[in-house]
Structure formats: structure tokens, C-alpha cells
Amino acid sequence: MAKLYFYYASMNAGKSTNLLQADFNYRERGMRTMLFTAAVDDRFAAGTITSRIGLTAPATMFDAATDLAALVAAEHARAPLACVLVDEAQFLTAAQVDQLAWLADVEDLPVLAYGLRTDFLGQLFAGSARLLALADSLEEIKSVCACGRKATMNLRVDADGRPVTAGRQTEIGGNDRYVALCRRHFSAALAEG
């Protein structure tokens, strides 16, 4: 029986790299996959999953209105798929996560979702919250704080490197906007901000 997997981590932990490696493993064995990435993530080329170490792959973009189940079912009917992989899974809606669970349960397709667990204030994203509730397997991808402890939090910083303590939940950025920290240093940085 296929499963829904949620691989979560702080920023810069290698989530996209892990997704692209999993995709390569399937394709190397002659199996077809379908990749998705959030349309809101405009840091690199649209419709592309890009890792910080330079790996890339084309992907279908999704937004809140995308019917993932219908897209996958149509592609699976055209030619069998072995796996569905979703990058930036925190941007999924709860309904879309339900669709991914349906793909695993009814279509018997493994679904591997990769994303952030929490935002820059330590609050769950809607997609991540639903994945934490429904996924058959939850796996944390480890990252490291500057102190050497496990980084679990994402601190948003301004252009001068100062902590940002208010704003929209979604603001796309990389190392220029976010720093992965352990909970202790995250809390200290927010208190100073």
C-alpha cells in the first residue's frame, strides 16, 4: 500500500536536493514521476525545482486553486506513474493535502511532500499542519544552527540582518531573508527584534 510522506525541515536543510535525488532514483530505474512546486516560489525559473547545490528538474506549478488529484490522475491514466513528489509543500491547502492522501490511498501512488514545518514566527503553515495530521510517515531533515545544535526554526531578517517580527506569513527568499536557528537562538533573536 502506498503512503503519504512528509519530509520537513528548516530553511537550507536540503529538502529540494533530497526530493531531486528521490526523483532521480525512480527515473534511473525507468519509472515515471510527477513533480510539483509552488507557483508562489519565484526565486528561480518558474516551473522548476532548484536546489542550492545546483540540481534542477522541471515541475508542474501549483497554487491554491490547483486540483492536484485531477492532474495526477490524468497523467497516471495516460502512462503509469510510480511516484508523486511535491516541493514547497507548506504552500499546499488543507484540501490539496487531502487530495495527496487520496492519491496514496485510492490510486496507490506514493506521495513524497517536502517543505517547511513552521514560518518565521514559529507558526505552522496550513499545508504543513495538514501533512503533520495525515502523513503516514513524518521525517525531519536535519539542519544545523550556528551554535551546532539542530536548527528547527526559520528566522526572517531584514536587509541589515535584523530579525523581522511581523509581516505576511509567506515571503519568498533564501539566505538573504532567512536564517535557520535552534529554538533557543530563534527565541533570543525574536526577543531582541
pLDDT digits (tens, 9 = 90+) for 65-98: 999 999 999 999 999 999 999 999 999 999 999 9
Identified catalytic residue from 28, 75, 88, 140:
88
Residue 63 annotated in ligand binding: no
CATH code of the domain containing 14: 3.40.50.300
For residue 115 the three cell numbers come to 517543505
pTM of the model: 0.90
pLDDT at residue number 5: 98
CA distances from 94 to 127, 173, 179 (A): 6, 23, 27
Mean pLDDT of 14-27: 95
Decide if 42 is inside a domain.
Answer: yes
Kind plus residue range of the DSSP H or E element containing 89:
none
Decide if 116 is inside a domain.
Answer: yes
Whether residue 58 is predicted with pLDDT greater than 90 in this model: the reply is: yes
Q: Cell match 517547511: residue? A: 116
Mean pLDDT of 56-68: 95
88 vs 38: CA distance, rounded Å: 6
Residue 16 annotated in ligand binding: yes
What residues make up the domain containing 121?
4-141
Whether residue 18 is predicted with pLDDT greater than 90 in this model: the reply is: yes
Decide if 113 is inside a domain.
Answer: yes
Decide if 181 is inside a domain.
Answer: no
Confidence of residue 124 (pLDDT cuts 50, 70, 90): very high
Domain count, the chain: 1
Decide if 184 is inside a domain.
Answer: no
Residue 12 annotated in ligand binding: yes
75 is catalytic: no
- Highest mean pLDDT among 12-21, 37-46, 129-138 belongs to 129-138
Decide if 151 is inside a domain.
Answer: no
Residue 150 annotated in ligand binding: no
Kind plus residue range of the DSSP H or E element containing 30:
none
59 vs 66: CA distance, rounded Å: 14
Confidence of residue 143 (pLDDT cuts 50, 70, 90): very high
Residue with the larger pLDDT of the pair 67 and 170? 67
Confidence of residue 99 (pLDDT cuts 50, 70, 90): very high
pLDDT at residue number 42: 63
Q: Cell match 509567506: residue? A: 170
Residue 9 annotated in ligand binding: yes
Confidence of residue 101 (pLDDT cuts 50, 70, 90): very high
